A and B are shown apart, each in its own frame.
Chain A
Amino acid sequence: MRPMRLWKSVSLAFILSVVWITFFLSISIAFGQTKASGVKPPIKIGYIAAFTGPYAGPSIDMRDGFLLYLSQKGNQFAGRQVEVLIEDDEAKPDVGLTKAKRLVERDKVDLLCGIVHSGVALAIAEYVKGQKIPLMIHNAAADALTQQRFNQYIFRSSFSSSQLSHPLGEWAYMKGFRKAAIVSSDYTAGWEYSGGFARTFTEKGGRIVQEIYLALGTPDPGPFITAIKTEVDMVYAFHAGADALRFVRRFDEYGMKKRAVLFGAGPLTHDSILPEEGDSALGILCSNTYTTVLDNPANKAFKNAVLKKYNRPATSFTLLGYTGGTMLEKALESIRGNIEDRGSFIKALEKVEILDTPRGPVRFDKYHNIVVDNYMCEVKKIDGEIVNSVVDTQKDVSQFWKWSPEEFMKMPTYISMKGKWVK
């Protein structure tokens, strides 16, 4: 290019850049003014769950429960607008971590919530510690999250896997059962839920006679059911989703209910699959943090609100999202909505205690896991409807049961105890 042309191009480019930069600078200053003028920006919450894939049902319900609570409060907590950004982790830890990073670093959320899948929770746990962003887990139950892998930014308002199996083990022994077979899904949840039962059951004097673990997604649990030893008087089975549905039906079809009583955790006879299980589920005993037939005013109001807003019945997952919202609001109110002060926010969460939620009283323990009442439920047909009916309650159950946190965490983990319960 000839010198004159070159000079013209360069100066044009220079002038354009100056104009461009000035333009953006002024815009950001203008918006900056809004921030400084005293109107607090909205609280931004990142909600992550597995909205596609096998955990879609629980994730959708959980999110809807949370959003329902928020809408009941006019989309405001402690006087500040709340903005919820929803992301799908597809139940994959790497995707979950990516979405978490996006929410924290690009969208600048103040808090992460949700999480159904424990793998995702574990992937995000370390990340939030480094970023100093609180994480409120509404479901993921792996014991380690509030035990070995605990950090102060993690709070769990659902339960830990073994938490509700501890009382079940003692209750079963008290009811006269002495010989148990464990027939559970072969992954962390299966080992931890079953382990909690096994520990308290054997400490009382019961015996685990057999342990059978089925691969996730086993198309037919029938052959495993027929392999259960005849001497047992009860079977503890942890299964969830499609596996639970298949297991309960096969257990009945093979005539096992006449030989041994079936015990399990909430997912085995969950509200969502109970109608599908039908009469096969009658008589099954499960430990639950919530059942739809709990008789208290908060639960009645909650169920009606869900039916009205979403035109479908509430499940325990809707309730978990709802509880998450309830506890979050309580903490925010006590610090006047100042979530930016992470230290105070965390201290506020630690102090949250609510007595009248639909599932009863809730609060956090020293390791930020929820302390709740455990409901022993039996599946019964009441007024033509099959429900999880409460037959007994243990109050104030923490993840450590009767042990102190230090004692409990000195004992071998349930993951390591898999296969070792049979003496």
Chain B
Amino acid sequence: MNFWFVQTINGISYGMLLFLLAAGLSLVFGLMNIINLAHGSYYMLGTYIGITVYRYSKNFVLAVVGAAIALAILGVLMQRFILRRLYGNHLGQVLLTFGFVFIIADISLLVWGGYAQNMPTPSLFRGATTIGGITFPTYRLLVIGVGLLVALFLWWFQKGTKIGVAVRAAVDDEEMSQAIGLNVPLTTTAVFGISTALAALGGVMGGPFIGAYPGVDVEALLLALVVVIIGGLGSLRGAFVGSILVGLLDNFGKALFPELSLFTIFAPMAIILAIRPNGLFGRAL
């Protein structure tokens, strides 16, 4: 009983990490029609930078902020000076961002070396909590909490703020938005920065239990792509539902069928692609 409950909590918390990743990926696609394959690399950089900041400051919050700012800057620079030139050119974007995957992977290897690293769990959330006879890790609850907060924030941002409305307007009709005075280029750049900052946040939150190592970028990207395919590109709701689903599937798959763990993720993805090609909540490509 304990086993199943803990697996569920782990699955949901892993899903929250994926949500931070997938939300950014989905946002960027929804707004700019850009498929950014370097997204998993942002996650990995977030973890590495978080680990380095933590090593010098011993402060978890600082690690989160530091990594988020660093990645936001990287994202803005990438979008402003490089990706913007490929607007509308899907193949070009895929190739370019894929190239960045290799570049970032090699630089990370150079800077942080080839061995696995991780962050110590922040002292407040260390250990396990027992409620009603069931023991589960406290830190995972924090991850779920942060994930829900971010989801709510993004929801409110989209629906309730001027900037959010501006973003949605730009998505719907870029020319018209520019015609009525919205600064579309600035909006898109800002959204890209937010997206990479979210990936970095995911990376730092994942630092204590997944860690950073060569290969984690591809693992993260793979799962994020599955999430947005199942949930649907361009939809926040889709990213949320999809990430919880994939988080649970991955955890239970590895627990129940270790040799078939990849199958338990990709089979549902294949089914969704066959039945609803745009994903559960997605809009057409």
Binding site for B on A (CB under 8 A): 52-60, 186, 213-215, 217-220, 222-224, 226-227, 241-242, 244-246, 249, 253-255, 272-273, 276, 278
Contact = CB atoms under 8 A, between A and B. Distances in A.
12 contacts: A52-B105, A54-B214, A55-B114, A57-B116, A215-B254, A217-B254, A219-B209, A219-B250, A241-B213, A242-B211, A246-B211, A272-B115
B120 to A, nearest CB: 7
A75 to B, nearest CB: 25
A186 B259 CA distance: 8
Contacts of A253: 121, 126-128, 137
Given A54-B213, A214-B258, A218-B254, A226 B135 contact: yes
B114 A246 contact: no
B29 interface: no
A220 B10 contact: yes
A273 B113 CA distance: 12
B109 A213 contact: no
B99 interface: no
Contacts of A56: 109, 114, 214
A255 B105 CA distance: 36
Given A52-B105, A57-B214, A222-B10, 12 more contacts: A52-B214, A60-B114, A217-B254, A219-B14, A220-B10, A222-B137, A223-B7, A224-B255, A242-B213, A246-B210, A253-B126, A253-B137
Given A213-B258, A223-B6, A223-B255, A246 B118 contact: yes
B3 interface: yes
A53 B108 CA distance: 11
A243 B2 CA distance: 22
Given A219-B251, A220-B251, A245-B211, A57 B115 contact: yes
B14 A222 contact: no
Contacts, number: 97
Contacts of B7: 223
B118 A245 contact: yes
Nearest to A270: B115
Contacts of A57: 113-116, 214
B142 to A, nearest CB: 14
Contact of A246 (B10, B209, B258, B259): B209
A128 to B, nearest CB: 26
Contact of A220 (B14, B120, B214, B216): B14
B136 to A, nearest CB: 8
Contacts of A220: 10, 14, 137, 209, 251
B6 A52 contact: no
Interface string B115-132: 111101100001110000
Contact of B116 (A52, A224, A242, A278): A242
A218 B10 CA distance: 11
Contact of B6 (A53, A54, A226, A272): A226
A249 B128 contact: no
Contacts of A222: 6, 10, 137
B175 interface: no
Interface in B195-215: 209-211, 213-215
A217 to B, nearest CB: 7
